[in-house]
């Protein structure tokens, strides 16, 4: 997990937003949860393809801290933890779709390297 020594100088709302859903994994996590609604930790990791636990757990913590996703823990054995978007989290989805739609015109898929979870995204863009 990562922890900056200096508390990150976020100096305007725009920078705050880009920090909340920027980075390599956060937007993917939000997209997957937007589609699947509720996922257990292991299912979420499977959807992400190639993320490691250290990185996934770190990203989830930040998303929880920023109020984007909610974590619900069931005290069972074996343990069960479910993740889903909060209302705030759901409110960023249209923004991500807007970015996606804007980029769609410029980012032509080389077909060898496209995310499965973005087929939904492409569908919405038609």
Partner DNA sequence: CAGTATCCTATTAGATACTG
Partner DNA sequence: CAGTATCTAATAGGATACTG
Sites of contact with a second copy (CB under 8 A): 9-18, 20, 22, 27-28, 31, 67, 88, 91-92, 95-96, 98-104, 106-107, 109, 113-115, 118, 121, 125
Q: Which is nearer to DNA, 34 or 60 (CB)?
A: 60
Rounded-to-integer distance, Cα 27 and Cα 118, Å? 11
Q: What DSSP character marks residue 106?
A: T
Q: Which is nearer to DNA, 53 or 126 (CB)?
A: 53
Q: List the one residue from 15, 49, 79, 98 that touches DNA (CB under 7 A).
A: 79
Order of strands across the sheet that contains 38-40: 38-40, 80-85, 69-74
Total H helices, total E strands in the chain = 6, 3
Q: List the one residue from 27, 35, 36, 41 that touches DNA (CB under 7 A).
A: 41
Q: Are strands 69-74 and 38-40 parallel, antiparallel or unpaired?
A: unpaired
Task: Give the residues lining the site for DNA (CB under 7 A).
Answer: 1-6, 8, 23-25, 40-43, 50-55, 57, 59-61, 71, 78-81, 83
């Amino acid at each position: 997990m990562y922890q900056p020594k200096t508390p990150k100088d976020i100096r305007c709302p725009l920078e705050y937003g880009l920090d909340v859903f920027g980075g390599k994994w956060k937007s993917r996590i939000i997209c997957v949860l937007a589609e699947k609604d509720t996922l257990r930790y292991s299912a979420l990791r499977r959807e992400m393809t190639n993320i490691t636990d250290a990185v996934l757990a770190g990203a989830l913590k930040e998303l929880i801290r920023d109020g984007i996703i909610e974590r619900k823990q069931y005290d069972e054995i074996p343990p069960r933890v479910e993740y889903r978007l909060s209302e705030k989290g759901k409110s960023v989805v249209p923004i991500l779709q807007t970015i996606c739609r804007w980029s769609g015109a410029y980012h032509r898929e080389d077909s060898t390297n496209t995310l499965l979870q973005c087929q939904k995204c492409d569908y919405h863009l038609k």
